[in-house]
Amino acid sequence: MATTAVVPNPLREGMRMRKTPDPCAIVIFGASGDLTARKLVPALFSLDRGGMLPPTVAVIGCAKTPYSHEKFREAMAAAIHKYSPETVEDAAVTDFLRHFYYLTDNFSDVKAYKQLTDLLEKLDKEGVAQGNRLFYMATPPSQFPVIVSHLNSAGLAKPKDPGKTWTRIVVEKPFGRDLTSARQLNSAVLSVFSEDQVYRIDHYLGKETVQNLLVLRFANGIFEPIWNRRYIDHVEITVAEDIGIEGRGGYYEEAGLLRDMIQNHVMSVLSLVAMEPPASFEATQVRDEKAKVLRAIRPFDLDRLSEFAVRGQYLQGWVKGQSVPAYRAEPKVSPTSTTETYAALKFSVDNWRWAGVPFYVRSGKRLAKHISEIVIEFRRVPHMVFGKTWRDSVEPNIMSVRIQPNEGISVKFNAKFPATTMQIRPVKMEFRYADSFGVEAPGAYETLLLDCMLGDQTLFTREDAVEMAWELLTPLLERWQQDGAGGLAFYEAGTWGPAEADALLARDGRHWHRL
């Protein structure tokens, strides 16, 4: 049974109804990198086509690659044609790129920031940026303190005309690699910028279905009252990828799955599932409630770690009909590596709403399919009136929130099968964005970049949330490092992970749901 939207408005209508951002200059450090070409510039182009950019906006790329303004525009034009989800005309792209500029920039060179200051002043005098500046850190985290320090020395970190203009900085993940480094990074950024200027971006929170989770919970009287321990048995969060490390062996050996996916994406989603209703959908109040969830999560008992955590690494296997190598056979990976490419964890949220409800999370590389989904399993009815035959065979009700691909929500409930005898079968009611609204959901970076320009921090990670997530996971990382190969489970590429992850739930009389 498919749902149909009552009012057939396009998804973008809500964005168009929002306040138009102020004219500004967007300065992208690391602009010759993959993120700018694949995500940032195509997202800005989509916003422009939708009439959601300011009346005037300039984009200044800064990187070591020796581009001229024209070469940068040509590279970005090619990126738009390649990565934009829609067919675009050359004239529209050329017009969009008129206010794109480029500075060949060694991030540690004081002269580069003088050139940047001069260009920004020129754009202000021309009425293009009007004193508003958004600095985007599309660089490795090691460059953040250097850039922040030079922006401060150049006088670019504070608003040009406080109260009338604004200055903001966007920081890409990873936000550190453990608790100590996260605190150092936050300290470096916040020594120059105030917290209300800092936008720690996690693109996962920009996904339409993740945001719709809040609407599902807090705008529906049929769901809000049952979102608690009285009615929910457990929660599963899965972020699965069928790809491997894609030639990033050096990076992945240093990072691992827990740092790469769970500390940011998964913990953010968990906090949205578990948070209390905020008084209003306002940035400070939403982020306060998310932080309370992280504060309530029970630390891992390291003496009983196997009851709460599984780490795995993929072996040679088959994905989409093709043979793929083991992780240890990937380029730039140690043949004796103990880096995890899979992790499954059991969290307990020690508060009134969730006491006794386990949150099982899992994420991994080279799994059976590419999918991100939240599964809510509700408790069984207290008494089955249809007789002993159905007491244990009737399936529990399930709500599935699909984040990607094919974004949507499904609810599984039980119904009588047409027959002369009592036969109960599970059925599904499904909602899909593309079917119900007739348009694709806007990209995550479209939403988040627009929020940056509008000054809306609701979907961005706050300093305390970053550090609390690391406070939970750093002891686990340190223990796994100490254990080395001990406790490392293996799984064939193309499967759903190691058997130990199934045992994690089986110990509680549960199982991972089929996605």
Paired residues of 317 in beta bridges: 324
Helix (H, G, I), strand (E, B) or coil at 162: strand
Contacts of 73 (CB under 8 A, 6+ apart): 97, 100
Q: What are phi and psi of 232, to 5 degrees?
A: -100, 130
Burial of 17 (0-12, 13-18, 19+ CB in 10 A): exposed
Burial of 111 (0-12, 13-18, 19+ CB in 10 A): exposed
Paired residues of 135 in beta bridges: 27, 169
Encoding tokens for residue 367?
A: 């799994």
User: Half-sphere exposure of 153 toward its Cβ, with a 13 Å CA cutoff?
Assistant: 14
Does an H or E element contain 465, and which? helix 463-483
Q: What letter would DSSP give residue 128?
A: S
C-alpha–C-alpha distance, residues 1 and 321, integer Å: 33
C-alpha–C-alpha distance, residues 297 and 299, integer Å: 6
| Cβ contact 58:12 at 8 Å | no
C-alpha–C-alpha distance, residues 95 and 101, integer Å: 14
| Cβ contact 415:388 at 8 Å | no
E strands in 80-166 = 100-104, 133-137
C-alpha–C-alpha distance, residues 416 and 424, integer Å: 5
Identify which of 374, 156, 343, 335 has the alpha carbon closest to the alpha carbon of residue 249. 335
Burial of 316 (0-12, 13-18, 19+ CB in 10 A): middle
Strand 322-324 and strand 488-492: the pairing is unpaired
Sign of CA dihedral 214, 466, 198, 407: negative
Contacts of 195 (CB under 8 A, 6+ apart): 462, 463
Question: Do you find a cis peptide bond into 145, omega within 30 degrees of 0?
Answer: no
Paired residues of 412 in beta bridges: 398, 428
Catalytic residues: 265
| Terminal-to-terminal C-alpha distance of the chain | 18
Q: What is the CA radius of gyration of the chain?
A: 24
